[in-house]
Structures are given as C-alpha cells and as structure tokens.
Amino acid sequence: MKTLWENVLKHISTRMNPSSFQTWFAPTRQASFEDRLLTVAVPDKYFVNWLEEQYRDTIIEILHTLTGQALEIAFVISEVPLSPPISREAFPEASESTISQPAPSVPNVQHDEDPGLNPKYTFDTYVVGGSNQFAHAASVAVAEQPSKAYNPLFIYGGVGLGKTHLMHAIGHTLQDANIPGFRLYYLSSERFMNELINAIRYDTIQQFRDKYRNIDLLLIDDIQFIAGKERTQEEFFHTFNALHNAQKQIVISSDCPPKKIPTLEERLRSRFEWGLIADIQPPDFETKVAILRKKAETEGIELSNEVAMYIATKIKSNIRALEGCLTKIAAHSKFAKQPITMDLARKVLDDILDSTESATAKNITVELIQEIVAGHYKIKTQDMKTSTRLRTIAFPRQVAMYLSRKLTTLSLPSVGKHFGGKDHTTIMYACQKIEALLQNDPNFQQELEHLEQTIRS
C-alpha cells in the first residue's frame, strides 16, 4: 500500500519538469504521519530549506486535495543516505531518464551530443524589425565570429519577444558550419542549477565542470533565475571565467539588464557587462504583421493580409501571444472546415482580444490588482507580500497572482517581485490552482469575473 507521501509525489510529478522532480523529490521518503503532521525525510539541510521555501504551499494544497483535511508538513534530515529507488510503475508521468538511476552522472560533452536546440528557431525564421534589429545584428555577428565579435553577448527583453529564438539561431548557425571539434550547449539557468545540485549530491562535481567549461559556445537562458542562489552563482562565476579566459563564446539572456537583476553578485554583474548588451522591445505594427505572415507560411496556413492586420492591431503584448492567436484561429478553421475569414477571426478571438485590449488601455498594474483583491477579501494590501500560509490570506494572494499574470504582460519572476519576492514556481502554482477552481466552481467563476470587471472599470 502506498504511503501518503508517495501519493503526494505522484501528484507533484505531473506538475513539474522531470529534471526538477528528480532533483528535489526523488530522494525523499515518508518518515512518519501522525496527529495531522506528515514528516518527510530528506538528504540534507539544503533540501529542508529549499522545499520549505519553494514547495511547501504546493504540498499543503495537494495534501488537502488527497485527504480533505488541513494537514501540516515537516522536513527532517535522514539518518541514513537517501537514494531515489522510485519505480517507473509508481510514477508513469516521469520520464525514464528521470528515475531510472540512483546517481545520475554528468556526461562528458561530445561533439555529437544533443546541444538542446529547437530546430524551428533559426535566423531564417526570425522576423527582423525596428524593435529587435540591434539584437539580431549582434547575434548574427556572434554566429559569424564567435568569441571575437561580442563576448559575452547579453540579450534582454520581456517575455515572448524572441530572446530564446536568437540564442538557438546562433547555435544552429555554428552547428551547421561543421567546425572541427566545435562544441556547444544550450540550457536554462534552472537546469544549470539542478545539474549542479545533483553533481554536489552525488560527488560528480568535476564531471559537471568538465561538461560546461570545455565547450566552445555556452548559451544560457533566463539567467535572472540564479539571483539569490549563492552556490549556483559561485559555480557560474567560475564557469564564466574559464570559458572567457579560454576565448570561448558566451551568450546570456534575461528579462532585464544586468544592473536590474536583484540580488545578483556584483562580480557577475560586471562580467555580464564586459561584452555587448542588446535589448529587444515589443514589435511595432509592421513587424507583427510580418511575423504573422511568416508563421502562416511556415505552418502552411492560408492567411489574408486583412486578418493578419486585424490580429496585429489588437494584440499589444508579445510575439508569443500573437502566434498563439493565429494558432487558435487555424485550429478552428481546420475543425470547422472553413477558410480563415475576418468573421471567423473575430468570432474565435473576441474574448482574448477584448481582454488584451481592455487591460492595455487601462494600464492595469499589479498594485491596482492587489488593492482591489485585498478589499474584496477584506485583508490588508500589505498581506499580499507576506509569506503567511493562513488560508484567509494565502487564497486572496493566489487570486491576485493569477489576475496579475492574466491582466498584465509581466513575466512570472516579475509578478513574483510584487508579492514579496516570491519564486516563479509559486506564481505558476497559484495560476494553476485558480484555473482548476474556475473549471470546477461556477460560483468562484462569477466572483472572479466580478473582480476583473472591477479592475478594468
């Protein structure tokens, strides 16, 4: 019979990527469950602190879902070494590579190793406009002359504006050049951190360092996530130095310039500013139309200029939202077996466009959302920024997080900053929880609609 903690793990494994699950949850075990307190054994103090800070709220919610009771969770350091003997049968959602080995090793980088590039993200599929022309030109220069043009190249901009696309395009160009012995790797800063933690835990730190310090091109995305993580910053600092001293190319992306990344060590900040800093702004009207036409051409979608201009006029946020609208229209066209017309576009996107247009026109801020939600639930606005887990405060805070994500164009980390520096995973979980409630609770759906109307009015 499964323990309560094993049932919790089954739920958690469906909510997060396999790498994070393997890192934080696979090497844990239920120690005891009595008097409404679930005690979980973990490998060390680092686990205790991290699980308390990042996942406690999520676990409490899952426990309530499973038992219908308000339970508490406590993490203790195991007296015996813990390895992850979790079977695939117990957690079918996790991939084979996630839980098949008790001590995942860090492989040596080989020329034929998968560098983690998306085949769709090339310079040929990137639409250049006034908002991204400088970042594009800098990326092309780096791809043509790695470590000689700009090193490091630091690209920053809002969510969904094409930073990742440019990084992959650089990688593809150099990969296709077939330079003898040339090695490259693309990854997110979160994956860098998770691999580092595994390397420390399983005493494979030298293999980890060999992997990332003996390549010719390192492409690391969303570097802002290492802010405040001292051990990760320390390791990345030395990785940066090793590559830069060896005249190897480094390309970094972030949602803001180095000087605005909070709790980033000064020595890293200064190194990020050694090379070239290029920003990407939201696309102008002409660029948005060109992006839609390019997307339609690539996907084999018949799209008229009239419909493309209509979508470009209405969508104010980012390229991801722009392409998402086109995908939704194309799906309805396919299922209804109708051509894409203006009537179909208006019918399909009416709710999305009205919401986006209204939010942009009213210049909705997180502070406004917090104030209105706090008033509705009769709590103090300042309570939104605390870490208290009292439901009378935690639930309104999650509602405000969801509305902030929906009604503004801020990224998950940016929203988190307005709620007392919450981690992006906390914001993500809050959004998932509210979305689930909306699907199952008609009364709450009406309540949230009322809040949205109040915020927009």
Query: Is residue 181 marked as binding?
Result: no
Query: Is residue 173 marked as binding?
Result: no
Contact between 108 and 207 under an 8 Å Cβ cutoff? The reply is: yes
Query: Is residue 163 marked as binding?
Result: yes
Instruction: Please tell me the distance from the alpha carbon of residue 214 to that of residue 168, in angstroms, as a whole number.
Output: 20
Take residue 250 and report the two structure tokens written for it. Answer: 């480094």
Sign of CA dihedral 331, 337, 341, 343: negative
Take residue 119 and report the two structure tokens written for it. Answer: 């085949």
Query: Is residue 375 marked as binding?
Result: no
Q: Which residues are annotated as a binding site?
A: 160, 162-164
Q: Which residues are annotated as a binding site for ATP?
A: 160, 162-164
